[in-house]
A and B are shown apart, each in its own frame.
Chain A
Amino acid sequence: MIIRAPKDFWSGIMFLCFAGVALYASSFYSMGRGGRMGPGYFPTLLGAVLAILGLILVVRSLVIRGDALEKMGWRPLLALVACVLLFAAMIQPLGLVIALSTTTFLASFAGPDWRLREAIFLSAGLTLAAVLIFVLGLRLPLPLWPSL
């Protein structure tokens, strides 16, 4: 088996995975009938369509030549996702000031050229701006400091 169109192949696999999850989960919801659709009716329909489309993509990728995969840029992606998760972990116990300054400081690592002084000033400036705009200006219910 030769994969002639890797991009299409892996797209197809991705859609098949989602279709599988959708069909599996929907099997627990009642289908109902056409005239009285149950909660499982529409998702099952969509899951089936998605599975067919995924299958077409996979089969076609074995026959028709297509684009090769691009190189994955792991560093920016993982750094950014890690920052987001870090923010999630910090916001409630530590408050906006600490969470945001840490997140934006570390986020600047994700880029190709990184400068320490710039990153410090940037994260300080952004945190100040965020406090002014979101907490003082818009009065959003954000904890500012660690709750003791």
Chain B
Amino acid sequence: MADVFSNIGLGLSVAASLQNLVYCMLGVLLGTLVGVLPGVGPVTTVAMLLPISFTLEPTSALILMAGIYYGAQYGGSTTAILINIPGEASSVITSLDGHQMARQGRAGPALGIAALGSFFAGCVATFIIAFGAPPLAKLALQFGPAEYFSLMLCGLVAAVVLARGSIIKAIAMVVLGLLFGLAGSDVNSGIRRFTFDMPGLADGIEFVALSMAIYGIAEVAINLERRQEEAKKVNAVGKLMPSGAELRACTPSILRGTFLGSILGVLPGGGALLAAFAAYTLEKKVAKPPRKFGEGDIRGVAAPESANNAGAQTSFIPMLTLGIPSNPTMALMIGALMVHGITPGPRVMTDRPELFWGVVASMWIGNLMLVILNLPMVGIWVKLLRMPYRLMFPMIVGFCCIGAYTINANVADIAVLAFFTCFGYLCLKLDCEPAPLILGFVLGPMMEENLRRALLISRGDPMVFVETPISIGFLLAAAGLLLVVAAPAIRRKREEAMAE
């Protein structure tokens, strides 16, 4: 107990340094901005900022990126409520009731409760990380290679289950990602794999170039053909503070949303989107009286908004304690840490406490900044909504080109960018979700290494994976998830859920 508080104290002292405050502020500002702007999301932004983050201290870099990730959840809800265009995927649910409220002239309270609910959820989630992460890291320190391999397998399966569309395609994308991740020099034999004698690939496929290609430029190409510039009618905001009755009605919803979101965020493959969806579904079932969900019920805004913020934050737990990314943004952050020579995993907490606790504390500070940014300044964000996409996409292209070049000052990385832009575009056109590919890419080398070590210890006996209860548990969980998704009844439900 006292330990946790002294750690939080350490974190606050790191996060409250002037430099880190500035990066936190910059992160949440950028996050809100890209959350508001339709067509640019946090993944794209974090990908574009990767090269910049390499010039920063690792703690500052992570604080900046984390700020973008949870800041986008706030910004996304603003557009969802005011113009029914969710700036962020996880805000889709918010627009159901939030936009109805705006049409009834209650946009202000909807925005207010979204910010207050998010702030409450953010604070709770910060404490959940502070209390929950250390025991998990302690447990993970006992993991051997076999447990790690099973854990990664389980994480990848979960990512597949939660991907949209066909499961076979999602598994194939994971496998392809793992293969891409293996390109370059093999640590053990020194042999260069999959480089096809191209010097540009000697160190493997550059992660930054790959992610910028898929989430930056390929995304732009898709947006350009789908986008029709339409007149956006922005509803008046009015007074922001919800009434006392509204606040009372929302309190249980916020608590439920926070609780559900915190749990779902920790699961591999989870995060903000799943949390918001599940919270809304739960709210429709349990909220009494079950008034008019979908017709402007304020609880339909409060619950998913709390949940997506809680989920966004607790999804840092598997990343910081196990080194397992639960979504593409987390995968990008792992990539950033690795460039700094830090392998995310249970050791981060003991070896670099200032990094871990600094980031956790910065989340709490960042949430406070977001409430201040979002409530009084909502008018400024609304103005930004009118920025046409034709002014934004050349910026994304330019940033990606500069970014790909500056990582290694190598022109070959820009060629990688061009190649994977085509590949990413093709995948999006064929309904192959890129998220599992990115997770596979990050985990590929680690998975091979752990498989190799596990089999080395057991002298080639594959039974090593079912010898310890932890490893069996992960494998059973993975098999269970696959079975659940394969069962026809549940599959139908899942498709309905995804379609909504």
- Measured CA separation A70–B225 after assembly (Å): 11
B403-434 residues with Cβ-Cβ distance < 8 A to A are: 405-406, 409, 411, 414-415, 417-418, 421-422, 425-426, 429-432
B461 CB within 8 Å of chain A = yes
- Measured CA separation A38–B400 after assembly (Å): 36
Given known A39-B186, A50-B175, contact A84–B397 (CB-CB < 8 A): yes
Stretch at the interface among B124-132, B216-224, B468-476: B216-224
Q: What distance in Å separates the Cβ of A112 from its nearest Cβ neighbour in chain B?
A: 7
Q: Is the CB of A49 within 8 A of B430?
A: no
A132 CB within 8 Å of chain B = no
Q: Is the CB of B179 within 8 A of A80?
A: no
Q: Is the CB of A81 within 8 A of B409?
A: no
Q: Is the CB of B406 within 8 A of A111?
A: no
- Measured CA separation A107–B399 after assembly (Å): 12
Q: Is the CB of B166 within 8 A of A8?
A: yes
A14 CB within 8 Å of chain B = yes
- Measured CA separation A122–B391 after assembly (Å): 7
Q: Is the CB of B229 within 8 A of A7?
A: no
Q: Is the CB of A100 within 8 A of B172?
A: no
B5 CB within 8 Å of chain A = no
Q: Is the CB of B422 within 8 A of A91?
A: no
| 28 pairs from A and B in contact (CB 8 Å cutoff) | A8-B169, A11-B432, A29-B191, A29-B193, A35-B455, A37-B451, A50-B175, A53-B175, A57-B172, A67-B431, A73-B221, A73-B222, A76-B221, A77-B221, A77-B422, A80-B217, A80-B220, A80-B221, A81-B217, A84-B414, A84-B418, A84-B421, A103-B397, A104-B398, A108-B393, A111-B389, A126-B395, A134-B406
Residues in chain B near residue A114, CB distance under 8 A: 390
Given known A15-B172, A39-B189, contact A108–B406 (CB-CB < 8 A): no
A16-58 residues with Cβ-Cβ distance < 8 A to B are: 18, 21-22, 25-26, 29-30, 33-39, 41-43, 46-47, 49-50, 53-54, 56-57
Residues in chain B near residue A34, CB distance under 8 A: 455, 459-462
B143-182 residues with Cβ-Cβ distance < 8 A to A are: 166, 168-169, 171-172, 175-176, 178-179, 182
Residues in chain B near residue A139, CB distance under 8 A: 55
A94 CB within 8 Å of chain B = no
- Measured CA separation A15–B177 after assembly (Å): 11
Contact of A84 among B166, B228, B229, B401 (CB under 8 A): B401
A60-105 residues with Cβ-Cβ distance < 8 A to B are: 60, 67, 69-70, 72-73, 76-77, 80-81, 83-85, 87-88, 91-92, 96, 99-100, 103-105
Residues in chain A near residue B229, CB distance under 8 A: 113
Residues in chain B near residue A113, CB distance under 8 A: 229, 390
Residues in chain A near residue B175, CB distance under 8 A: 46, 49-50, 53
Q: Is the CB of B429 within 8 A of A100?
A: no
User: Which residues of A line the B interface, CB within 8 A?
Assistant: 7-8, 10-11, 14-15, 18, 21-22, 25-26, 29-30, 33-39, 41-43, 46-47, 49-50, 53-54, 56-57, 60, 67, 69-70, 72-73, 76-77, 80-81, 83-85, 87-88, 91-92, 96, 99-100, 103-105, 107-108, 110-115, 118-119, 122-123, 126, 130, 134, 138-142
Q: What distance in Å separates the Cβ of A89 from its nearest Cβ neighbour in chain B?
A: 8
Q: Is the CB of B221 within 8 A of A43?
A: no
Residues in chain B near residue A38, CB distance under 8 A: 189
Contact of B460 among A26, A35, A39, A46 (CB under 8 A): A35
Residues in chain A near residue B432, CB distance under 8 A: 11, 14
Q: What distance in Å separates the Cβ of A25 from its nearest Cβ neighbour in chain B?
A: 6
Residues in chain B near residue A60, CB distance under 8 A: 168
Residues in chain B near residue A8, CB distance under 8 A: 166, 169
Q: Is the CB of B395 within 8 A of A104?
A: yes
**Given A26-B193, A29-B186, A130-B398; 8 other pairs, CB 8 A cutoff:** A35-B459, A42-B448, A42-B452, A83-B397, A88-B411, A91-B414, A107-B397, A108-B393
Residues in chain A near residue B139, CB distance under 8 A: none
Q: Is the CB of B401 within 8 A of A111?
A: no
Residues in chain B near residue A108, CB distance under 8 A: 390, 393-394
Residues in chain A near residue B451, CB distance under 8 A: 37, 42
Q: What distance in Å separates the Cβ of B329 from its nearest Cβ neighbour in chain A?
A: 22
Q: Is the CB of A50 within 8 A of B402?
A: no
Q: Is the CB of A80 within 8 A of B430?
A: no
Residues in chain A near residue B460, CB distance under 8 A: 33-36
Q: Is the CB of A14 within 8 A of B430?
A: yes
Q: Is the CB of A126 within 8 A of B172?
A: no
Residues in chain B near residue A87, CB distance under 8 A: 401, 405, 414
Residues in chain A near residue B169, CB distance under 8 A: 8, 11, 57
Q: Is the CB of B394 within 8 A of A123?
A: yes
Contact of B456 among A35, A96, A119 (CB under 8 A): A35
Q: What distance in Å separates the Cβ of B76 from its nearest Cβ neighbour in chain A?
A: 24
B194 CB within 8 Å of chain A = yes
Given known A37-B451, A80-B221, contact A140–B394 (CB-CB < 8 A): no
Residues in chain A near residue B406, CB distance under 8 A: 134, 140-142
- Measured CA separation A11–B193 after assembly (Å): 25
Given known A42-B448, A80-B217, A92-B411, contact A134–B168 (CB-CB < 8 A): no
